[in-house]
Structure 1
Amino acid sequence: MKKIALIGVTTALLFLSACGEEPITQKTNEQPKQASIKHEKPSSEPSAKNEDNKTVTTLPNGVIETTVGNVTTYSNDKIYTYYKGANWEDNHDGLKTEVVHVALTDKYPLKDGKLASVVNVKFKLHNTTQGKFTTYPDQAQLITSTGEKIESPTFKSENIGGEINKGVTKEGILYFQLEKGNADKINWIQLFWPVSDNGTEQRIVLYLNE
Protein backbone atom coordinates (compact mmCIF):
# COMPACT_ATOMS: atom_id res chain seq x y z
CA MET A 1 0.00 0.00 0.00
CA LYS A 2 1.37 3.39 -0.94
CA LYS A 3 2.46 5.47 2.03
CA ILE A 4 0.92 8.91 2.34
CA ALA A 5 3.43 11.31 3.89
CA LEU A 6 1.88 13.98 6.02
CA ILE A 7 2.89 17.32 4.63
CA GLY A 8 4.08 19.45 7.50
CA VAL A 9 5.66 22.82 7.89
CA THR A 10 9.21 23.03 6.58
CA THR A 11 11.23 25.38 8.68
CA ALA A 12 14.62 25.85 10.19
CA LEU A 13 14.71 25.31 13.94
CA LEU A 14 14.35 28.59 15.74
CA PHE A 15 15.91 28.96 19.15
CA LEU A 16 14.32 31.01 21.89
CA SER A 17 16.89 32.51 24.19
CA ALA A 18 15.08 34.92 26.46
CA CYS A 19 12.61 34.02 29.17
CA GLY A 20 9.21 35.48 28.42
CA GLU A 21 10.01 36.21 24.75
CA GLU A 22 7.12 35.43 22.41
CA PRO A 23 7.66 32.22 20.39
CA ILE A 24 8.16 32.39 16.64
CA THR A 25 5.95 30.13 14.57
CA GLN A 26 5.79 29.31 10.89
CA LYS A 27 2.75 30.79 9.19
CA THR A 28 0.63 28.44 7.14
CA ASN A 29 -2.28 29.02 4.82
CA GLU A 30 -4.66 27.09 7.01
CA GLN A 31 -4.56 27.59 10.76
CA PRO A 32 -5.48 24.57 12.91
CA LYS A 33 -8.51 25.17 15.05
CA GLN A 34 -8.32 25.24 18.80
CA ALA A 35 -9.91 22.36 20.63
CA SER A 36 -11.49 22.22 24.03
CA ILE A 37 -10.30 19.53 26.38
CA LYS A 38 -12.79 16.71 26.62
CA HIS A 39 -13.93 15.60 30.06
CA GLU A 40 -16.69 13.26 31.10
CA LYS A 41 -20.06 14.95 31.44
CA PRO A 42 -20.68 16.19 34.97
CA SER A 43 -23.26 14.41 37.05
CA SER A 44 -26.53 16.00 38.03
CA GLU A 45 -24.81 17.47 41.06
CA PRO A 46 -24.48 21.24 40.45
CA SER A 47 -21.13 22.97 40.30
CA ALA A 48 -20.13 25.18 43.20
CA LYS A 49 -18.72 28.65 42.48
CA ASN A 50 -17.30 31.33 44.73
CA GLU A 51 -15.91 34.84 44.53
CA ASP A 52 -12.48 33.61 43.40
CA ASN A 53 -13.82 32.35 40.05
CA LYS A 54 -13.41 28.80 41.31
CA THR A 55 -15.57 25.97 39.93
CA VAL A 56 -15.84 22.58 41.61
CA THR A 57 -17.56 19.72 39.74
CA THR A 58 -18.14 16.10 40.72
CA LEU A 59 -17.66 13.83 37.69
CA PRO A 60 -19.66 10.58 37.29
CA ASN A 61 -16.66 8.50 38.40
CA GLY A 62 -16.47 10.40 41.69
CA VAL A 63 -13.44 12.51 40.78
CA ILE A 64 -13.59 16.11 41.98
CA GLU A 65 -12.59 18.56 39.24
CA THR A 66 -11.53 21.99 40.50
CA THR A 67 -10.93 24.86 38.08
CA VAL A 68 -9.61 28.31 38.94
CA GLY A 69 -9.30 30.40 35.78
CA ASN A 70 -7.64 28.11 33.21
CA VAL A 71 -5.97 25.84 35.76
CA THR A 72 -7.64 22.51 36.52
CA THR A 73 -6.76 19.93 39.17
CA TYR A 74 -8.31 16.58 40.07
CA SER A 75 -8.81 14.90 43.41
CA ASN A 76 -7.06 11.73 42.20
CA ASP A 77 -3.96 13.53 40.88
CA LYS A 78 -1.99 15.29 43.60
CA ILE A 79 1.08 15.81 41.41
CA TYR A 80 0.08 17.50 38.16
CA THR A 81 -1.67 20.76 37.36
CA TYR A 82 -3.69 20.59 34.12
CA TYR A 83 -4.22 23.56 31.80
CA LYS A 84 -7.59 23.39 30.06
CA GLY A 85 -6.75 26.08 27.49
CA ALA A 86 -3.59 24.33 26.29
CA ASN A 87 -5.19 22.16 23.61
CA TRP A 88 -4.76 21.85 19.86
CA GLU A 89 -6.09 19.75 17.00
CA ASP A 90 -5.50 19.48 13.27
CA ASN A 91 -6.99 17.39 10.46
CA HIS A 92 -4.59 16.94 7.56
CA ASP A 93 -6.12 14.95 4.70
CA GLY A 94 -7.86 12.66 7.17
CA LEU A 95 -5.16 12.27 9.80
CA LYS A 96 -6.47 13.85 12.99
CA THR A 97 -3.79 14.95 15.46
CA GLU A 98 -4.82 16.26 18.86
CA VAL A 99 -3.09 17.51 21.99
CA VAL A 100 -5.58 16.36 24.62
CA HIS A 101 -3.93 18.02 27.60
CA VAL A 102 -0.81 19.68 28.96
CA ALA A 103 0.07 19.14 32.62
CA LEU A 104 3.01 20.47 34.67
CA THR A 105 4.59 19.52 37.97
CA ASP A 106 7.59 20.29 40.14
CA LYS A 107 6.90 17.24 42.32
CA TYR A 108 7.46 14.20 40.09
CA PRO A 109 9.07 11.51 42.29
CA LEU A 110 12.22 9.88 40.89
CA LYS A 111 13.62 6.50 41.94
CA ASP A 112 16.40 8.13 43.96
CA GLY A 113 13.81 9.94 46.08
CA LYS A 114 14.36 13.33 44.48
CA LEU A 115 11.59 15.41 42.91
CA ALA A 116 11.73 16.43 39.24
CA SER A 117 10.02 19.14 37.20
CA VAL A 118 8.10 17.59 34.29
CA VAL A 119 5.95 18.72 31.38
CA ASN A 120 3.35 16.08 30.48
CA VAL A 121 1.68 16.21 27.02
CA LYS A 122 -1.01 13.76 25.88
CA PHE A 123 -1.36 13.15 22.13
CA LYS A 124 -4.13 11.38 20.21
CA LEU A 125 -3.76 10.38 16.54
CA HIS A 126 -6.55 8.95 14.37
CA ASN A 127 -6.31 7.89 10.72
CA THR A 128 -9.76 8.26 9.17
CA THR A 129 -8.62 7.30 5.65
CA GLN A 130 -7.90 4.08 3.73
CA GLY A 131 -4.21 4.94 3.38
CA LYS A 132 -1.18 5.27 5.65
CA PHE A 133 0.34 8.28 7.36
CA THR A 134 3.74 8.79 8.94
CA THR A 135 4.28 11.13 11.88
CA TYR A 136 6.58 11.19 14.90
CA PRO A 137 5.20 13.24 17.82
CA ASP A 138 7.12 10.94 20.17
CA GLN A 139 10.29 12.55 18.75
CA ALA A 140 9.07 16.04 19.64
CA GLN A 141 11.36 18.76 20.95
CA LEU A 142 10.10 21.12 23.64
CA ILE A 143 10.85 24.81 24.17
CA THR A 144 9.45 26.68 27.17
CA SER A 145 8.87 30.33 27.97
CA THR A 146 11.40 29.95 30.79
CA GLY A 147 14.22 29.36 28.31
CA GLU A 148 14.53 25.57 28.32
CA LYS A 149 14.94 23.40 25.25
CA ILE A 150 14.47 19.64 25.69
CA GLU A 151 15.62 17.63 22.68
CA SER A 152 13.29 14.65 23.17
CA PRO A 153 10.75 13.14 25.57
CA THR A 154 12.20 11.26 28.53
CA PHE A 155 11.68 8.12 30.64
CA LYS A 156 8.01 7.00 30.68
CA SER A 157 7.05 8.45 27.28
CA GLU A 158 4.99 6.17 25.04
CA ASN A 159 5.83 5.16 21.47
CA ILE A 160 3.04 6.62 19.34
CA GLY A 161 4.97 7.57 16.21
CA GLY A 162 5.73 5.92 12.88
CA GLU A 163 3.21 4.53 10.41
CA ILE A 164 -0.48 4.82 11.20
CA ASN A 165 -2.59 2.43 9.15
CA LYS A 166 -6.18 3.00 8.02
CA GLY A 167 -8.67 3.40 10.83
CA VAL A 168 -6.01 3.18 13.55
CA THR A 169 -6.06 5.39 16.66
CA LYS A 170 -2.93 5.91 18.75
CA GLU A 171 -2.73 7.86 21.97
CA GLY A 172 -0.12 8.28 24.63
CA ILE A 173 1.62 10.67 27.01
CA LEU A 174 5.01 12.27 26.45
CA TYR A 175 7.11 13.34 29.43
CA PHE A 176 9.73 16.11 29.25
CA GLN A 177 11.98 16.45 32.30
CA LEU A 178 13.09 20.04 32.84
CA GLU A 179 16.67 20.82 33.76
CA LYS A 180 16.09 24.21 35.39
CA GLY A 181 12.84 23.33 37.13
CA ASN A 182 10.21 25.98 37.86
CA ALA A 183 7.48 24.31 35.83
CA ASP A 184 4.95 26.52 37.60
CA LYS A 185 6.57 29.58 35.98
CA ILE A 186 5.95 28.41 32.39
CA ASN A 187 3.51 30.58 30.39
CA TRP A 188 3.74 28.76 27.06
CA ILE A 189 5.39 25.76 25.46
CA GLN A 190 6.41 25.12 21.86
CA LEU A 191 6.51 21.62 20.36
CA PHE A 192 7.89 20.56 16.99
CA TRP A 193 8.24 17.08 15.55
CA PRO A 194 8.90 15.29 12.21
CA VAL A 195 5.79 14.51 10.20
CA SER A 196 7.43 12.53 7.38
CA ASP A 197 10.65 10.79 6.46
CA ASN A 198 11.82 13.68 4.26
CA GLY A 199 12.48 16.26 6.98
CA THR A 200 9.22 18.21 7.14
CA GLU A 201 7.88 19.04 10.58
CA GLN A 202 4.91 20.32 12.54
CA ARG A 203 5.36 23.20 14.98
CA ILE A 204 2.76 24.38 17.49
CA VAL A 205 2.61 26.79 20.44
CA LEU A 206 0.35 26.16 23.43
CA TYR A 207 -0.43 28.98 25.87
CA LEU A 208 -1.06 27.89 29.45
CA ASN A 209 -2.50 30.99 31.03
CA GLU A 210 -4.96 32.37 28.48
Structure 2
Amino acid sequence: MKKWFIGVVLVVLLVLVSGCGGAQDAVGEGMREQPDPKTEQQPIEPAADTTSPDGDIEQVEYDLDIVEEWNGLKTEILGLGIASGVESAWQEEDNSDVVYVKFRIENTRDDGAGHFTTYPDQATLITSTGEQLEADMFESDNIGGDLYEGVIKDGIVFWVLERGAPFDISWVRLKWNSYDEAEDVDFDKWATDHDVRIEIE
Protein backbone atom coordinates (compact mmCIF):
# COMPACT_ATOMS: atom_id res chain seq x y z
CA MET A 1 0.00 0.00 0.00
CA LYS A 2 2.74 2.43 0.92
CA LYS A 3 4.70 1.70 -2.28
CA TRP A 4 1.60 2.37 -4.39
CA PHE A 5 0.94 5.66 -2.60
CA ILE A 6 4.58 6.81 -2.98
CA GLY A 7 4.46 5.93 -6.68
CA VAL A 8 1.33 8.05 -7.21
CA VAL A 9 2.90 11.01 -5.38
CA LEU A 10 6.04 10.79 -7.53
CA VAL A 11 4.00 10.73 -10.75
CA VAL A 12 1.97 13.77 -9.64
CA LEU A 13 5.15 15.68 -8.76
CA LEU A 14 6.73 14.88 -12.12
CA VAL A 15 3.63 16.13 -13.95
CA LEU A 16 3.59 19.37 -11.92
CA VAL A 17 7.29 20.06 -12.48
CA SER A 18 7.07 19.46 -16.21
CA GLY A 19 3.95 21.65 -16.39
CA CYS A 20 5.73 24.56 -14.69
CA GLY A 21 8.61 24.36 -17.13
CA GLY A 22 6.17 24.54 -20.03
CA ALA A 23 4.53 27.66 -18.58
CA GLN A 24 7.88 29.40 -18.23
CA ASP A 25 8.76 28.51 -21.82
CA ALA A 26 5.42 29.87 -23.01
CA VAL A 27 5.96 33.17 -21.18
CA GLY A 28 9.43 33.50 -22.65
CA GLU A 29 8.12 32.87 -26.16
CA GLY A 30 5.41 35.51 -25.73
CA MET A 31 7.93 38.10 -24.60
CA ARG A 32 10.19 37.42 -27.58
CA GLU A 33 7.23 37.84 -29.95
CA GLN A 34 6.41 41.40 -28.88
CA PRO A 35 5.50 43.33 -32.05
CA ASP A 36 7.66 46.13 -33.35
CA PRO A 37 6.37 49.70 -32.89
CA LYS A 38 4.45 51.25 -35.77
CA THR A 39 6.45 54.48 -35.66
CA GLU A 40 10.10 54.81 -34.75
CA GLN A 41 12.01 58.05 -34.33
CA GLN A 42 15.71 58.21 -35.20
CA PRO A 43 18.08 59.02 -32.31
CA ILE A 44 17.58 62.57 -31.09
CA GLU A 45 19.90 65.12 -29.50
CA PRO A 46 18.99 67.48 -26.65
CA ALA A 47 17.50 70.85 -27.53
CA ALA A 48 18.09 72.06 -23.99
CA ASP A 49 19.96 70.79 -20.96
CA THR A 50 19.15 72.87 -17.91
CA THR A 51 19.44 72.94 -14.15
CA SER A 52 17.20 75.08 -11.96
CA PRO A 53 18.86 78.08 -10.26
CA ASP A 54 18.82 76.36 -6.88
CA GLY A 55 20.23 73.17 -8.43
CA ASP A 56 17.29 71.00 -7.36
CA ILE A 57 15.86 70.19 -10.79
CA GLU A 58 17.87 68.75 -13.66
CA GLN A 59 16.22 68.28 -17.02
CA VAL A 60 16.95 67.49 -20.64
CA GLU A 61 14.50 68.40 -23.41
CA TYR A 62 14.34 67.13 -26.99
CA ASP A 63 12.52 68.66 -29.97
CA LEU A 64 10.59 66.09 -31.99
CA ASP A 65 8.63 66.02 -35.23
CA ILE A 66 6.69 62.76 -35.16
CA VAL A 67 3.41 62.85 -37.11
CA GLU A 68 0.79 60.12 -37.48
CA GLU A 69 -2.38 60.55 -39.54
CA TRP A 70 -5.28 58.12 -39.35
CA ASN A 71 -8.78 58.57 -40.87
CA GLY A 72 -8.46 62.35 -40.43
CA LEU A 73 -7.00 62.27 -36.91
CA LYS A 74 -3.59 63.94 -36.87
CA THR A 75 -1.35 63.21 -33.90
CA GLU A 76 1.96 65.02 -33.43
CA ILE A 77 4.65 64.44 -30.80
CA LEU A 78 6.50 67.74 -30.57
CA GLY A 79 8.86 67.20 -27.66
CA LEU A 80 10.21 64.86 -25.01
CA GLY A 81 11.63 65.79 -21.63
CA ILE A 82 13.37 63.93 -18.82
CA ALA A 83 13.73 65.56 -15.42
CA SER A 84 14.89 64.79 -11.90
CA GLY A 85 13.94 66.53 -8.64
CA VAL A 86 10.46 67.66 -9.72
CA GLU A 87 8.09 68.63 -6.91
CA SER A 88 4.43 67.63 -7.14
CA ALA A 89 1.39 68.36 -5.03
CA TRP A 90 0.01 64.94 -5.99
CA GLN A 91 3.01 62.67 -5.36
CA GLU A 92 4.03 61.40 -1.94
CA GLU A 93 7.72 61.81 -2.72
CA ASP A 94 9.12 65.31 -2.39
CA ASN A 95 11.19 65.07 -5.56
CA SER A 96 10.21 62.85 -8.48
CA ASP A 97 11.94 61.66 -11.62
CA VAL A 98 9.68 62.16 -14.63
CA VAL A 99 9.37 61.72 -18.36
CA TYR A 100 7.06 64.09 -20.21
CA VAL A 101 5.88 64.35 -23.81
CA LYS A 102 4.30 67.27 -25.65
CA PHE A 103 1.38 66.27 -27.89
CA ARG A 104 -0.76 68.07 -30.45
CA ILE A 105 -3.84 66.27 -31.69
CA GLU A 106 -6.20 67.55 -34.40
CA ASN A 107 -9.41 66.39 -36.03
CA THR A 108 -8.75 67.50 -39.61
CA ARG A 109 -12.31 66.72 -40.73
CA ASP A 110 -14.38 69.73 -41.70
CA ASP A 111 -17.41 68.03 -43.23
CA GLY A 112 -19.24 66.94 -40.09
CA ALA A 113 -18.32 63.32 -40.81
CA GLY A 114 -17.86 62.52 -37.14
CA HIS A 115 -15.54 62.86 -34.20
CA PHE A 116 -12.72 60.82 -32.70
CA THR A 117 -12.11 59.54 -29.20
CA THR A 118 -8.42 59.40 -28.35
CA TYR A 119 -6.41 58.93 -25.17
CA PRO A 120 -2.78 60.09 -25.43
CA ASP A 121 -3.11 61.35 -21.85
CA GLN A 122 -3.62 57.73 -20.77
CA ALA A 123 -0.69 56.37 -22.75
CA THR A 124 1.49 53.60 -21.39
CA LEU A 125 5.20 54.43 -21.25
CA ILE A 126 7.84 51.69 -21.57
CA THR A 127 11.49 52.64 -20.94
CA SER A 128 14.85 51.06 -21.73
CA THR A 129 15.48 50.94 -17.97
CA GLY A 130 12.71 48.37 -17.49
CA GLU A 131 9.72 50.47 -16.47
CA GLN A 132 6.14 50.22 -17.71
CA LEU A 133 4.06 53.12 -16.43
CA GLU A 134 0.64 54.66 -16.87
CA ALA A 135 0.40 58.42 -17.37
CA ASP A 136 -0.03 60.63 -14.31
CA MET A 137 -3.45 62.09 -15.11
CA PHE A 138 -3.30 64.59 -12.23
CA GLU A 139 -0.14 66.25 -13.57
CA SER A 140 -0.92 65.83 -17.28
CA ASP A 141 -2.98 68.17 -19.43
CA ASN A 142 -6.48 66.93 -20.23
CA ILE A 143 -6.15 66.32 -23.96
CA GLY A 144 -7.95 62.97 -24.18
CA GLY A 145 -11.57 62.16 -24.91
CA ASP A 146 -13.81 63.37 -27.74
CA LEU A 147 -12.30 65.47 -30.51
CA TYR A 148 -14.83 67.09 -32.86
CA GLU A 149 -14.33 68.45 -36.36
CA GLY A 150 -11.62 71.11 -36.64
CA VAL A 151 -10.61 70.88 -32.95
CA ILE A 152 -6.90 71.09 -32.00
CA LYS A 153 -5.61 70.20 -28.53
CA ASP A 154 -2.09 70.81 -27.22
CA GLY A 155 -0.79 69.41 -23.97
CA ILE A 156 1.94 67.72 -21.98
CA VAL A 157 1.62 64.22 -20.53
CA PHE A 158 3.74 63.15 -17.51
CA TRP A 159 4.92 59.78 -16.23
CA VAL A 160 6.55 59.45 -12.79
CA LEU A 161 9.43 56.98 -12.78
CA GLU A 162 9.55 54.38 -10.03
CA ARG A 163 13.11 53.12 -10.39
CA GLY A 164 14.86 56.45 -10.83
CA ALA A 165 17.93 56.77 -13.08
CA PRO A 166 16.07 59.00 -15.55
CA PHE A 167 19.20 60.02 -17.46
CA ASP A 168 20.09 56.38 -18.12
CA ILE A 169 17.07 56.02 -20.42
CA SER A 170 18.16 55.35 -24.02
CA TRP A 171 14.70 54.88 -25.54
CA VAL A 172 11.03 55.19 -24.65
CA ARG A 173 7.97 53.60 -26.19
CA LEU A 174 4.43 55.03 -26.06
CA LYS A 175 1.22 53.05 -26.56
CA TRP A 176 -2.39 54.31 -26.56
CA ASN A 177 -5.67 53.96 -28.47
CA SER A 178 -7.90 56.08 -30.72
CA TYR A 179 -11.40 55.41 -32.04
CA ASP A 180 -13.25 56.77 -35.09
CA GLU A 181 -16.81 57.63 -34.05
CA ALA A 182 -18.10 58.39 -37.57
CA GLU A 183 -21.38 56.61 -38.31
CA ASP A 184 -20.26 55.21 -41.67
CA VAL A 185 -16.76 54.07 -40.67
CA ASP A 186 -15.76 50.59 -41.79
CA PHE A 187 -15.75 48.06 -38.98
CA ASP A 188 -12.08 47.19 -39.54
CA LYS A 189 -11.05 50.89 -39.40
CA TRP A 190 -12.92 52.10 -36.33
CA ALA A 191 -9.97 51.73 -33.91
CA THR A 192 -6.19 52.05 -34.03
CA ASP A 193 -3.34 51.30 -31.61
CA HIS A 194 -0.69 54.01 -31.54
CA ASP A 195 2.75 52.59 -30.87
CA VAL A 196 5.74 54.96 -31.02
CA ARG A 197 9.35 54.30 -30.05
CA ILE A 198 11.75 57.22 -29.55
CA GLU A 199 15.50 56.60 -29.50
CA ILE A 200 17.60 58.89 -27.30
CA GLU A 201 21.32 59.42 -27.90
Structure 1 length-normalised TM: 0.62
Q: Percent identity between the aligned chains?
A: 34
User: Which stretch of structure 1 is more off in the superposition, 177-186 or 188-197?
Assistant: 188-197
Contact residue 50 and residue 60 of structure 2 kept, 8 A: no
Contact 1:90 1:96 in 2 (8 A): yes
Question: What amino acid does structure 1 have at the position aligned with 2:77?
Answer: V
Q: Are 2:46 and 1:71 equivalent residues in the alignment?
A: yes
Instruction: Give the structure 2 partner of residue 160 of structure 1.
Output: 143
Tell me the number of residue pairs that the alignment of Structure 1 and Structure 2 aligns: 152
Q: Measure the CA separation in 1 of the matches of 2:146 and 2:97.
A: 31
**Match of residue 83, structure 1, among 62, 75, 82:** 62
| CA distance, structure 1, for counterparts of residue 152 and residue 173 of structure 2 | 24
1:98 offset after TM fit, Å?
A: 0.4
User: Shift of residue 196 of structure 1?
Assistant: 2.1
Q: Which residue of 1 is the match for residue 108 of structure 2?
A: 128
* Counterparts of 1:81 and 1:146, CA distance in 2: 17
Is the CA contact (8 Å cut-off) linking 2:100 and 2:159 kept in structure 1? yes
Q: What's the CA shift for 1:74?
A: 6.5
1:188 aligns with 2:163: no
Contact persistence 1:140–1:153 (CA under 8 A): no
Q: Which amino acid aligns with 1:208?
A: I
Matched residue, 2:5: none
Does structure 1 residue 115 correspond to structure 2 residue 91? no
Shift of the 143–16 alpha-carbon distance from structure 1 to 2, 3 Å rule, reads farther
Give distance in 1, aligned partners of 2:49 and 2:126. Answer: 26
- Tell me what 1:6 maps to: none
Q: Could you list the runs of 5+ residues in structure 1 that have no partner in the other structure? A: 1-14, 18-22, 36-68
Q: Secondary structure at the match of 2:121?
A: helix
Q: Which SS does the other structure have where 2:197 is aligned?
A: strand
Distance in 2 between the 1:134 and 1:106 partners?
33
The secondary structure found in structure 2 opposite 1:195 is strand
Contact 1:87 1:206 in 2 (8 A): no
- Pair member with larger Rg: 2
1:147 aligns with 2:125: no
* Mapped partners of 1:124, 1:24: distance in 2: 26
Paired position in structure 1 for 2:197: 205
User: What amino acid does structure 2 have at the position aligned with 1:158?
Assistant: D
Paired amino acid for 1:168: V
In the alignment, structure 2 segments of 5+ residues that lack a partner are: 1-29, 181-189
Asked whether the 8 Å contact 2:74–2:105 carries over to 1, the reply is yes
Greater helix proportion: 2
The residue type paired with residue 82 of structure 1 is E
Deviation at 1:199, TM superposition (A): 6.7
- Cα distance between partner residues in 2 of 1:119 and 1:170: 20
RMSD over aligned CA atoms reads 3.0
User: How far is the alpha carbon of 1:154 from its aligned partner?
Assistant: 4.3
Partners of 1:16 and 1:71 in 2: CA distance: 31
**How has the CA–CA distance of structure 1 residues 121 and 26 changed in structure 2, closer, same or farther, with 3 Å as cutoff?**
closer
Shift of 1:144: 0.2
CA contact (8 A) 1:188 1:206 kept: yes
